[in-house]
Structure 1
Amino acid sequence: MTTLADYRSNRIVELMDEPSEHHDAEWLKEALQQAIMLELATLPPYLCGLWSIKNPDPDEPVSRAIREIVFDEMSHLGLACNLLTTIGGVPRLADAAIVPKYPGPLPGGVRPELTVSLSGLTKQSLDMYSRIEEPDHPVTLSAARTHTSIGAFYTAILDAFRKHKGLITGARQLVMDMKDHGAGNSIYALNSFADVKSAIEVIKEQGEGTSASPENPHPGELGELAHFYVFRELFHERKLKRNPDYPDRWEFTGDVIPMPQVLPMGTVPPGGWAAGSASEPDPDTKARLATFNRNYSELLRLLERAWKSAVAAEAAELLMDAVGQMFTLKGPAWKLMAKPLPDGSGKRYGPEFLYTTAP
């Protein structure tokens, strides 16, 4: 029997297959833990792509686009945790059994054909990013997809909340003002069904857009697109434009998007660099990897403790500590990307995002 502690289970598909009359409080708690695992799973691949950009310029379009998406995903993770705690659940983040494992599938059986890996920014990684975010009915594609999408999963969660509004208690809600990163980026308290509905719509629509438009209804800048379409723009190296002759048709025929120079981070093998036959790190690189993994793991522990705390002031302080911990990741990641792999491929090392227990 699978459990929510099994990252590589098909639990989301199994939850979606259960009849709606079974979507009770326990169903919601398990579904929301899976949602937290999904939101966390998107961050490491996007961060590897962002950090691999050489000499990043805040105004460079590709770097700016991915950075904005990363901030969106961070807020989605916070909102997913608030969704669970408002019904009395406890988020689990700091556990080797449930943290993302790369390369591998998304948790829960979402998009089973997709393998998510950690590497630098390439055409292949941009295609992978967009497939993570892909809606069931993209307005730029003619054929509908038949797999379980992240958006479809959140729709089922919202339907369950709608039937069980009395479960919403407002317990252990953390808040963070992030409006400077966009209209939908703040983490806010979910004390009512209206709050819950708003949070789920932000998560869905920032990632997938709406069924009628690729535009993000919660943008940082006017005309900003949902994540799926931003990644497709970067993949095609062209801005997405509405066809003037066919207003319902969107095409990648706009301005050219110049690709930045990148550091050629290789693809992290299963189990990390030390597990790869051609990527055994030297002692200095092992130390750099250990530093990154230790900092990443402490970040997850701080986040989990923040949402577990029943003391508002302590929870807020822990969340701020987690924000500070986030800034300890970039430096070690860049140092790793400066180190060539020993296989002569010209590729570089990069962060593994492996969870380690506290010393």
Structure 2
Amino acid sequence: MPDVRRNRSDAIVELMAMPAAEHDETWLKEALQQAVMLELATLPPYLCGLWSIREADRGPGVFEALHAIVFDEMSHMGLACNMLTTIGGMPRIADADLVPTYPGPLPGGVQPGLSVSLTGLSKQALDMYSRIERPDDPVVEDLDAHTSIGAFYTAILEAFRSRPELIKGTRQLERNMSSHGEGNDIVALTSLGDVETALKVIKEQGEGTAASPDNPFPGDTGEPAHFYAFREMFHGRRLIRVSDDPPRFDFQGEEIPMPRTFPMATVPAGGWAEGGVPVSDDVREHLGAFNRRYSSLLRFLERAWRTEQPSTAAQMLNGAIGQMFQLEEPARALMETPLPGGSGQTYGPEFRFVGDEP
């Protein structure tokens, strides 16, 4: 069994290489732990893009689409945690060896060669987001083919189907998130049917289906799956069907203007100071506040899925949500602060996991 204790391992690639007959309880627990961290890994880059959009441009279009994707990913992470706990596992979230670091690869070796970084919204960032979400068989623009997130979830689904007796319904958290879109609720997974539905939501919200780029579980009618939404933003045009026989799609629809943004530079490895960028006292204060709140959020999440008491779990989840809403203030303060040297770029959040709370 691969070592999944490090966030830069090839654990998912190794798990996928194992014969299906060996996809037992241990395999499934390790795979689901990787799934939890994979969903977490998408949130910091997407949030940096979202928060970099200037206030005046926060409305229909790119901002609303990116906002919806962020909430989808939060729901996916919650469902992955419920899948792990329903078979008796315990998510490891607040773990310095596992928390994704940037720039770097996705957890487990998914999409090898892709370096995920923290930066403001741009065409380059949108291309990076697209490569994170790339389906195995997209209906348009087949980017570099590697192990996809969807293929990994398909393997997890088949493991559940071969061992449904593992599903016990233990430590299940529930959260009504229907205001953010169809299928976005975090629901208890107590049967194989529940797990199948959860995996369908995760896969098809991200990748669409083999026949359509639409998100089958949208917030708004006609909302595309994540991969296609990012490609639309990248091209600046809606993806539309241009032929029925054969079915063909192209970016020839309504124009999608790029919003005005704060020019957040790419966070260097280890953070701004470690990357050799001078950091003033004010910037250090904002960075510290952000990293402490982010770390507290991860601790709340881990405690929520580890406790046996439903009331305590609900309190911990509420605590995590509270910390989430407190992240944007220091992030925006950093994005409004120019880097030294006159490049015109700004600082931004580091999403670093810091030591134990006092």
> Which TM-score band applies after superposition, normalised by the shorter structure?
over 0.9
Summarize the Cα distance change of 1:280–1:144 in structure 2 as closer, same or farther, 3 Å threshold.
closer
Asked whether the equivalents of residues 56 and 63 of structure 1 are also in contact (C-alpha less than 8 Å), the reply is no
User: What is the TM-score of this pair, normalised by structure 2?
Assistant: 0.98
Letter in 1 for 2:119: S
Per the alignment, residue 223 of structure 1 pairs with 222
Once the 2 structures are TM-superposed, how far is the Cα of residue 244 of structure 1 from its aligned partner? 3.8
- Aligned ranges 1:247-286 → 2 under 5 Å: 248-277=247-276, 279-286=277-284
Q: Deviations over 1:263-312 (max 9, x none)?
A: 000000000000122x2211111111000000000000000000001001
- Aligned ranges 1:1-359 → 2 under 5 Å: 3-141=3-141, 146-244=145-243, 246=245, 248-277=247-276, 279-357=277-355, 358-359=357-358
Once the 2 structures are TM-superposed, how far is the Cα of residue 4 of structure 1 from its aligned partner? 1.3
SS in 2 for 1:273: coil
Q: Determine the C-alpha separation between the residues in 2 that align with 1:228 and 1:246.
A: 24
Asked whether the equivalents of residues 168 and 193 of structure 1 are also in contact (C-alpha less than 8 Å), the reply is yes
Once the 2 structures are TM-superposed, how far is the Cα of residue 171 of structure 1 from its aligned partner? 0.2
Letter in 2 for 1:120: G
Asked whether the equivalents of residues 137 and 145 of structure 1 are also in contact (C-alpha less than 8 Å), the reply is no
Q: Deviations over 1:56-79 (max 9, x none)?
A: 555331100000000000000000
Letter in 2 for 1:343: G
Q: Determine the C-alpha separation between the residues in 2 that align with 1:47 and 1:298.
A: 17
Summarize the Cα distance change of 1:318–1:56 in structure 2 as closer, same or farther, 3 Å threshold.
farther
Q: Determine the C-alpha separation between the residues in 1 that align with 2:168 and 2:217.
A: 26
Percent of residue pairs identical? 61
Q: Determine the C-alpha separation between the residues in 2 that align with 1:199 and 1:191.
A: 11
> How many residues were matched structurally?
357
User: What is the TM-score of this pair, normalised by structure 1?
Assistant: 0.97
Q: Determine the C-alpha separation between the residues in 1 that align with 2:240 and 2:337.
A: 40
Q: Determine the C-alpha separation between the residues in 2 that align with 1:56 and 1:167.
A: 50
User: Which blocks of at least 5 consecutive residues in structure 1 are unaligned?
Assistant: none
Asked whether the equivalents of residues 136 and 144 of structure 1 are also in contact (C-alpha less than 8 Å), the reply is no
Once the 2 structures are TM-superposed, how far is the Cα of residue 343 of structure 1 from its aligned partner? 2.7
Summarize the Cα distance change of 1:297–1:49 in structure 2 as closer, same or farther, 3 Å threshold.
same
SS in 1 for 2:227: helix
Q: Determine the C-alpha separation between the residues in 2 that align with 1:73 and 1:119.
A: 18
Letter in 2 for 1:161: F
Once the 2 structures are TM-superposed, how far is the Cα of residue 239 of structure 1 from its aligned partner? 0.4
Which moves more between the two structures, 280-289 or 43-52? Answer: 280-289
- Aligned-residue CA RMSD in angstroms? 1.2
Q: Deviations over 1:13-72 (max 9, x none)?
A: 000000111100000000000000100000000000000001155533110000000000
Which moves more between the two structures, 244-253 or 288-297? Answer: 244-253
Letter in 2 for 1:202: V
Asked whether the equivalents of residues 2 and 14 of structure 2 are also in contact (C-alpha less than 8 Å), the reply is no
Asked whether the equivalents of residues 71 and 180 of structure 2 are also in contact (C-alpha less than 8 Å), the reply is yes
Asked whether the equivalents of residues 45 and 118 of structure 2 are also in contact (C-alpha less than 8 Å), the reply is yes
